[in-house]
Chain A
């Protein structure tokens, strides 16, 4: 009987990674959209500061970001302690892994959405206003459909980044099988053991495969949406 392709612990890591990345992406979409909108459409003192803050996870070493998350959202952290009162716990839970992944992926999502917002012709929104649409309705019925390709691109990018996130995750919520041992954590752990190259390779293939599937799906989806948005049917 041949050994299983992956051990149960490894499958668990794959499943956890998918769950963490999906939750991280979906949960950060509303905020990502809001921040991208504010950065694209509003000028205010502090605009550059907000922009810098959003991009911080791209520039800081991931371990530093993880440590900052620990200080803020850990059990003794400023926000973490408060949230604990509502029963929301990030420390050493998959929710923490999702938070770390979301924070690291956030700049990529915001950039993609902001770019597509800036590409929307403001005269179309103006025209919608003259047709009686309130600013909220204009956003929902004109702006949002037109930036949908950008939102999709941002979401896919964020998902891919979240799948690969390691440094901040392991610093913030450590590596706990079933809770926070994501695919990259599992790969890292295996790399510490001499002779585990074969198992590492299998996990890497899975990681690559998942990313490729995500990318191909997003390409197809993005093309379909773009066609519709450009008015070709």
Chain B
């Protein structure tokens, strides 16, 4: 079921005009604060009537200003998770979770509780919940309302790094097991890199690029938008775990080593390679601490104010490297040049299964 969004809305200070399609999976609305992402999310959820536009989910038209049609939020069957959990203080966790259930469905209830690990929290009031617990309850509550689409507006923004790490696996499981399409609004590259199937990049009220996440992350022209955490995503298979704490991953360009992953041997995973952690060499280096050395060919070199982004083909998938202009000149990197990409194991971050 595809979500079609084509809206325009004016605020003081921002004129929004976006159009995109969100196929099944996680579609991430990515961009800096103030870009208009939340406006789009609210329009999809029905909390905002855009000045002009169309919102259509599958065959159902939710908003059509031309026909003066606007389905109110409570009839859209779109679940929302907000940055502040917005849990009902007068109900327990169980009461909150069950709020949106049309019929008492114990099977669905138990399934979501297991998915989000909420069982110990059920009888509690919401006052004592930690940020991460509240976020999980909010997600569970939205899921239990059996939505056709889940809109998540920076659900992890108010959590600290460790809490976020705690929840991201839940969200990945959501993407892969719950079957509900997700519109995920965020300005955090890590989250988007890990979760997104499709990426819609919004800046100053306009769509800069929209497309499959892997392709956009590998595009050197978009590197400045991702900032320092940008980098390519590559697919691999877990070959095995080693007793000295490393996991071996087989990727198209070779074998990669990274710190132990919580994934079973044989599982397909997505790895993120931060561009600024990629070192380039014209010759294969010896005696380095880095374990990952991939043979690659330069496919593109893009310079900007802050440095140079080099796109490399490493036996199939593209890897991006971020180096200084001086180094680029010194190494004489041009498209077609053969070189080696060196990746520190600890720099590799896990993406989820794709």
Is the CB of B265 closer than 8 A to any CB of chain A? Answer: no
Is the CB of A56 closer than 8 A to any CB of chain B? Answer: no
| A132 and B74 contacting across the interface, CB-CB below 8 Å | yes
For B141, the chain A residues whose CB sits under 8 A away are 131
Q: In the bound complex, how far is the Cα of B46 from the Cα of A231, in angstroms?
A: 28
> Residue on A with the closest CB to B80?
A130
Is the CB of B126 closer than 8 A to any CB of chain A? Answer: yes
How far, in Å, is A126 (CB) from chain B's closest CB?
Answer: 6
Chain A, interface size: which category?
20 to 34
In the complex, which of the residues A124, A132, A135, A146 contacts B77, with contact meaning CB atoms closer than 8 Å?
Answer: A132
> Residue on A with the closest CB to B141?
A131
Number of chain B residues whose Cβ lies closer than 8 Å to a Cβ of chain A: 31
Is the CB of B88 closer than 8 A to any CB of chain A? Answer: yes
- Residues 127-169 of B, flagged 1 when their CB comes within 8 A of A and 0 if not, give 1100000000000011001000000000000000000000000
Is the CB of B236 closer than 8 A to any CB of chain A? Answer: no
Give chain B's interface secondary structure class.
loop
Is the CB of A77 closer than 8 A to any CB of chain B? Answer: no
Q: In the bound complex, how far is the Cα of B99 from the Cα of A138, in angstroms?
A: 11
| B45 and A130 contacting across the interface, CB-CB below 8 Å | yes
- Check A130/B89 contact, CB under 8 A, given A123-B84, A231-B125, A233-B124: no
Is the CB of B352 closer than 8 A to any CB of chain A? Answer: no
Is the CB of A134 closer than 8 A to any CB of chain B? Answer: yes
* Residue among B76, B80, B89, B100 with max Cβ neighbours from chain A (10 Å): B89
In the complex, which of the residues A127, A132, A231 contacts B86, with contact meaning CB atoms closer than 8 Å?
Answer: A127
> Residue on A with the closest CB to B72?
A129
Closest CB pairs A-B (n = 7): A131-B100, A231-B127, A231-B89, A130-B80, A233-B125, A127-B86, A231-B126
Besides A132-B74, A142-B88, A232-B125, 10 more A-B contacts (Cβ < 8 Å) are A130-B47, A130-B76, A130-B78, A130-B145, A131-B79, A131-B141, A131-B142, A134-B74, A231-B125, A233-B92
